């Protein structure tokens, strides 16, 4: 590789003392002796820790403060390219920013399935020749999995998990020859991508944009560009040119997508553009493929990775470009475990690796919009759709004028519009951002609403799954026959619409039409969802009923009408970002209409057509909206103009966390020193999840305040009991 590829790192002789950072264990660099054959700085190693063996990285020279006779030896050096200095800085800075222990941060960077396996464990399982005629159902399932994915290699655990059987079932099949056990081949490099394989002829706008991005990438310095363009303007085509330049420079590129369901369409486009498929990294890829991706990224055998947010922690050798597609998408914020925002971490990683970042979106996050306005990011705008497609017309349906029974949600005006599309063999999309059948199940005798046993949340009826589901903890139970509170029979009734109920209504209203539901609950696998999306794109549906899932980037050429069932839904609640989210979501959903020759229309059902957010959505005055929103946030001193951190204390004992919270709020000296203020403690909006009570505090500070350092000093004053969990969320996206 040309350019910034890094030379060999320092080598330690056998017996020299090195400092190893263990992944996910003790949060300290520990001294070990270099093993037989020595090791390099950055090497991935296996070390003994108490009775356990764990994976770690040779982080620095040993401290040498221990009696050398007592220092244990590294067990072995794992088969992986040593971690580069810029990756170590990235993890260190990311840990400081998110207030995450280093060992937890390192765990994100060592999530290679089988990284710690001994070579002997690397067996793979394939379909054998000796398949008997009669098989038990469990054995049948194993063979079916292997038949479904003939080109993939599976480990024992993987094939057993996918078939839902114990490993012994697979072993049994191996014994009779129905399954073949073989040594895993060495992971192979991905096919070469050719940057000049088949570029499209770009429109003048697109071409100017592509040139700007190409020269930014060629400069080989850090920089960020906000690529803003209406849906269908060709943002993807334009940033693929930046990828081409990066590949031509001999550097690696990463494209982050917010939704696994989008990857397959994107991979096809990459193949058309560069002649081969890139590496993939997300939860929908097999472990063997993930291990291959991780290894090859480290060795330089993968030029381009398409992945989910965790791909940021892959061991790139020479990263030249990160694209964050749909950068405003809230799923980039990891809300579990290590709380990080992949968009911000992409910028951090790029700044350390002298890489360029492209943030692509039709509706930027306010943060990115402000950064571009202030000149921190370069800005690139595509104002019109590619080819004959034009932006859809947006209109409100004032629900106060519509005659509609209380258990119906499709207004006569919207229904007429759908019928006229059906007559012309065009598609309509009805959007509702609620999974399941009905959000509330109410007892008509006593007024009881069925809630989750472990959370402060209602159970949502899912008829497709035939269960009640808690959207907080995922717990499910069957619909009870009698009211759990008053035991009345036949009195439980659904209240309010979910996507499934809307499907029922649409089927009744549009007799004979093909109505299809697109909601994440309805698919057992990413593959099933992909097939459904492809069949809709091919025209095998008249009316599509969809949740948030449909808002993201799919291309349905025959879709000319979008109906938003409840445009007011996101405007309720006190969330700082409610207006921003509604604006983005409505524009994204509306953008699904009219992507080909026929112009599209978007109808927004609303009870408040004069609400400022609804007005700016309809008028399309985007800059006006962002400017107003920015002014409001600036006046309130909230992000991106001020800094915020959310503190959540949780415990099974509610008193304990209120007491601790109150003590923390009283002893706020370290925060006051930097001019920060604590609000709370107060019960969190969802006051109980999975049986744990939750108390929230909010810390606000000026933009320039050294907030993280102050938070560390502040929390260090308190002894947190083992029964309490303390989570700190820097730049919280939501306040649940
Ligand atoms: P966006 O990412 O902005 O939504 P896309 O890049 O997906 O837009 O482009 C929308 C559609 O238009 C795609 O089907 C794409 O292949 C097509 N398209 C865009 N630009 C061109 C071009 N210059 N030549 C041919 N097709 C194009
Ligand atoms: Zn629950």
pTM: 0.85
Q: How far apart are CA 89 and CA 84, in angstroms?
A: 9
Mean pLDDT, the chain, integer: 89
Query: 327 C-alpha to center of ligand 1: Å?
Result: 18
Query: 455 C-alpha to center of ligand 2: Å?
Result: 4
CB within 6 Å of ligand 1 — which residues?
Answer: 200-203, 206, 229, 231-237, 386, 555
Residue 381, SS3? strand
Please determine, for residue 22, whether its predicted confidence score (pLDDT) is greater than 70: yes
Q: Are 326 and 361 in contact (CB under 8 A)?
A: yes
pLDDT (0 to 100) of residue 157: 83
Ligand 1 atom closest to the CA of 237, numbered from 1? 6
Nearest ligand to the CA of 470 is: 2
**What pLDDT digit, counting tens, does each position of 388-439 carry?**
767 788 899 999 999 999 899 999 999 999 999 999 999 999 999 888 999 9
Q: Give the range among 326-340, 571-585, 715-729 with minimum mean pLDDT.
A: 571-585
Mean pLDDT for 346-354 is 97
pLDDT (0 to 100) of residue 647: 94
Nearest ligand to the CA of 255 is: 1
Q: Is 321 exposed, middle or buried (0-12, 13-18, 19+ CB in 10 A)?
A: buried
Please determine, for residue 7, whether its predicted confidence score (pLDDT) is greater than 60: no
Handedness of CA 516, 520, 523, 528 (dihedral sign): positive
Please determine, for residue 489, whether its predicted confidence score (pLDDT) is greater than 70: yes
Mean pLDDT for 194-220 is 94
Q: How far apart are CA 616 and CA 227, in angstroms?
A: 21
pLDDT confidence band for 299 (50 / 70 / 90): very high
> CA–CA distance from 356 to each of 2, 54, 348 (Å)?
17, 35, 11
Q: How far apart are CA 219 and CA 541, in angstroms?
A: 47
Closest CA to 127 of 159, 161, 104: 159
Q: How far apart are CA 584 and CA 614, in angstroms?
A: 11
Beta partners for residue 603, in sequence order: 395, 563
Please determine, for residue 34, whether its predicted confidence score (pLDDT) is greater than 50: yes
Residue whose CA lies nearest to ligand 1 atom number 26? 200
Please determine, for residue 288, whether its predicted confidence score (pLDDT) is greater than 60: yes
Q: What is the gyration radius of the CA atoms in the chain, in angstroms? A: 27
pLDDT (0 to 100) of residue 573: 64
pLDDT (0 to 100) of residue 596: 67
Q: How far apart are CA 227 and CA 218, in angstroms?
A: 17
pLDDT (0 to 100) of residue 628: 85
Q: How far apart are CA 507 and CA 305, in angstroms?
A: 42
**What pLDDT digit, counting tens, does each position of 115-168 carry?**
877 665 678 888 888 888 888 889 999 988 888 877 677 888 888 888 889 999
> CA–CA distance from 27 to each of 20, 23, 72 (Å)?
11, 8, 18
Residue whose CA lies nearest to ligand 1 atom number 9? 234
Ligand 1 atom closest to the CA of 231, numbered from 1? 4
pLDDT confidence band for 589 (50 / 70 / 90): confident
Q: How far apart are CA 327 and CA 361, in angstroms?
A: 6
pLDDT (0 to 100) of residue 721: 93
Closest CA to 20 of 60, 75, 67: 60
Please determine, for residue 354, whether its predicted confidence score (pLDDT) is greater than 60: yes
pLDDT confidence band for 6 (50 / 70 / 90): very low
Q: How many CB atoms sit inside 10 A of residue 666's CB?
A: 9
Nearest ligand to the CA of 690 is: 2
Q: Are 285 and 233 in contact (CB under 8 A)?
A: no
Q: Which residues contact 722 (CB under 8 A, 6 or more apart)?
A: none
Please determine, for residue 535, whether its predicted confidence score (pLDDT) is greater than 70: yes
pLDDT (0 to 100) of residue 230: 85
Closest CA to 264 of 247, 288, 251, 282: 282
> CA–CA distance from 691 to each of 111, 687, 694, 725 (Å)?
29, 10, 10, 13
pLDDT (0 to 100) of residue 5: 39
Q: Are 428 and 561 in contact (CB under 8 A)?
A: yes
Ligand 1 atom closest to the CA of 229, numbered from 1? 3
Q: How far apart are CA 179 and CA 615, in angstroms?
A: 62
Q: Between β-strands 601-606 and 393-398, what pairing exists: parallel, antiparallel or unpaired?
A: parallel
Residue whose CA lies nearest to ligand 1 atom number 5? 234
pLDDT confidence band for 3 (50 / 70 / 90): very low
Task: Kindly list the strands in the beta sheet with 601-606, ordered across the sheet, starting from the edge strand earlier in the chain.
Answer: 393-398, 601-606, 559-564, 427-431, 543-546, 515-518
Query: HSE (CB half, 13 Å, CA atoms) of 596?
Result: 11
| DSSP secondary structure code for residue 520 in this structure | G
> CA–CA distance from 690 to each of 346, 450, 687, 696, 724 (Å)?
32, 16, 10, 16, 14
Closest CA to 589 of 599, 576, 603: 603
Q: Which residues contact 232 (CB under 8 A, 6 or more apart)?
A: 385, 386, 389, 591, 595
Query: HSE (CB half, 13 Å, CA atoms) of 485?
Result: 14
Mean pLDDT for 381-391 is 79
Query: 408 C-alpha to center of ligand 1: Å?
Result: 38
pLDDT (0 to 100) of residue 4: 38
Closest CA to 352 of 123, 610, 115, 94: 94
Residue 547, SS3? coil
Q: Which residues contact 257 (CB under 8 A, 6 or more apart)?
A: 263, 266, 306, 307, 308, 325, 326
Length of the chain: 736
List strand residue ranges (DSSP E) for 472-540, in order: 476-477, 492-495, 515-518
Q: How far apart are CA 53 and CA 69, in angstroms?
A: 20
Closest CA to 652 of 691, 685, 683, 696: 691
Query: 133 C-alpha to center of ligand 1: Å?
Result: 51
pLDDT (0 to 100) of residue 659: 94
Closest CA to 210 of 231, 195, 194: 195
Mean pLDDT for 662-676 is 96
Query: 550 C-alpha to center of ligand 2: Å?
Result: 26
Mean pLDDT for 578-599 is 80
Closest CA to 33 of 78, 8, 67, 84: 67
Q: Give the range among 91-105, 444-458, 508-522, 575-589 with minimum mean pLDDT.
A: 575-589
Q: What is the 3-state secondary structure (H, E, C) of 635-671?
A: HHCCCCCEEEEEEEEEECCHHHHHHHHHHHHHCCHHH
**What pLDDT digit, counting tens, does each position of 700-726 carry?**
999 999 999 999 999 999 999 999 999
Q: How many CB atoms sit inside 10 A of residue 305's CB?
A: 25
Handedness of CA 620, 571, 563, 401 (dihedral sign): negative
pLDDT (0 to 100) of residue 120: 59
pLDDT (0 to 100) of residue 595: 67
């Amino acid at each position: 590789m040309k350019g910034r590829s890094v030379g060999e790192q320092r080598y330690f002789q056998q017996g020299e003392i090195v400092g190893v950072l263990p992944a996910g264990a003790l949060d300290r660099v520990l001294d070990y002796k270099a093993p037989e054959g020595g090791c390099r700085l950055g090497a991935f190693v296996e070390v003994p820790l108490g009775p356990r063996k764990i994976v770690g990285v040779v982080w620095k020279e040993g401290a040498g403060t221990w009696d050398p006779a007592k220092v244990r030896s590294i067990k072995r050096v794992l088969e992986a390219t040593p971690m580069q200095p810029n990756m170590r800085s990235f993890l260190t800075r990311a840990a400081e920013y998110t207030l995450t222990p280093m060992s937890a941060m390192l765990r994100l960077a060592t999530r290679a399935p089988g990284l710690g396996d001994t070579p002997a464990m690397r067996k793979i399982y394939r379909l054998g020749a000796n398949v008997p005629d009669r098989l038990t159902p469990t054995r049948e399932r194993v063979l079916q999995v292997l038949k479904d994915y003939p080109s993939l290699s599976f480990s024992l655990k993987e094939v057993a998990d996918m078939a839902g059987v114990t490993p012994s079932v697979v072993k049994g099949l191996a014994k009779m020859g129905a399954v073949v056990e073989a040594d895993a081949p060495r992971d192979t490099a991905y096919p070469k991508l050719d940057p000049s394989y088949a570029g499209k002829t770009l429109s003048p706008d697109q071409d100017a944009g592509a040139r700007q991005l190409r020269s930014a990438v060629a400069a080989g310095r850090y920089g960020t560009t906000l690529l803003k363009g209406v849906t269908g303007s060709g943002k993807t085509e334009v940033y693929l040119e930046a990828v081409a330049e990066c590949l031509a420079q001999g550097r690696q590129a990463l494209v982050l997508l917010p939704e696994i369901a989008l990857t397959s369409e994107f991979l096809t486009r990459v193949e058309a553009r560069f002649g081969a498929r890139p590496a993939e990294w997300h939860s929908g890829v097999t472990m063997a493929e993930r291990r291959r991706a991780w290894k090859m990224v480290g060795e330089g055998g993968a030029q381009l990775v398409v992945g989910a947010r965790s791909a940021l922690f892959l061991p790139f050798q020479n990263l030249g470009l990160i694209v964050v597609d749909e950068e405003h998408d809230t799923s980039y914020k990891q809300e579990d475990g290590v709380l990080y925002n992949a968009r911000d971490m992409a910028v951090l990683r790029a700044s350390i690796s002298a890489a360029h970042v492209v943030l692509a979106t039709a509706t930027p996050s306010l943060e990115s919009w402000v950064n571009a306005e202030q000149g921190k990011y370069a800005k690139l705008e595509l104002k019109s759709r590619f080819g004959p497609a034009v932006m859809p017309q947006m209109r409100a349906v004032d629900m106060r004028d519509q005659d509609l029974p209380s258990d119906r949600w499709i207004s006569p005006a919207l229904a007429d519009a759908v019928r006229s599309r059906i007559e012309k063999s065009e598609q309509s999309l009805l959007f509702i951002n609620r999974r399941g059948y009905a959000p509330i199940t109410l007892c008509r005798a006593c007024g009881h609403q069925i809630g989750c046993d472990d959370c402060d949340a209602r159970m949502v009826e899912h008829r497709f799954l035939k269960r009640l589901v808690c959207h907080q903890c995922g717990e499910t139970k069957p619909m009870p026959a009698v009211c759990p509170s008053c035991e009345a029979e036949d009195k439980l009734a659904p209240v309010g619409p979910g996507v499934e109920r809307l499907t029922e209504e649409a089927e009744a209203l549009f007799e004979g039409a093909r109505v299809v539901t697109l909601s994440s609950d309805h698919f057992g696998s990413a593959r099933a969802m992909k097939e459904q999306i492809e069949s809709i794109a091919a025209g095998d549906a008249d009316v599509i009923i969809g949740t948030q899932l449909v808002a993201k980037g799919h291309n349905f050429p025959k879709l000319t009408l979008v109906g938003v069932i409840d445009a007011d839904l996101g405007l309720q609640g006190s969330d700082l970002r409610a207006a921003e989210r509604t604006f983005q979501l409505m524009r994204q959903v509306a953008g699904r209409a009219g992507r080909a020759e026929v112009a599209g229309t978007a109808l927004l059902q609303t009870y408040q057509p004069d609400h400022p957010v609804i007005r700016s959505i309809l008028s399309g005055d985007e800059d006006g909206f962002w400017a107003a929103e920015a002014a409001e946030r600036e006046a309130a001193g909230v992000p991106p103009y001020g800094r915020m951190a959310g503190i959540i204390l949780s415990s099974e004992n509610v008193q304990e966390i209120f007491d601790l919270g109150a003590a923390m709020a009283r002893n706020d000296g370290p925060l006051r020193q930097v001019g920060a203020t604590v609000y709370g403690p107060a019960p969190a909006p969802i006051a109980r999840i999975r049986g744990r009570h939750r108390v929230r505090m909010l810390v606000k500070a000026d933009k320039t305040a050294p907030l993280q350092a102050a938070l560390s000093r502040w929390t260090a004053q308190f002894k947190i009991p083992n029964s309490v969990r303390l989570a700190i969320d820097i730049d919280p996206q939501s306040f649940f």
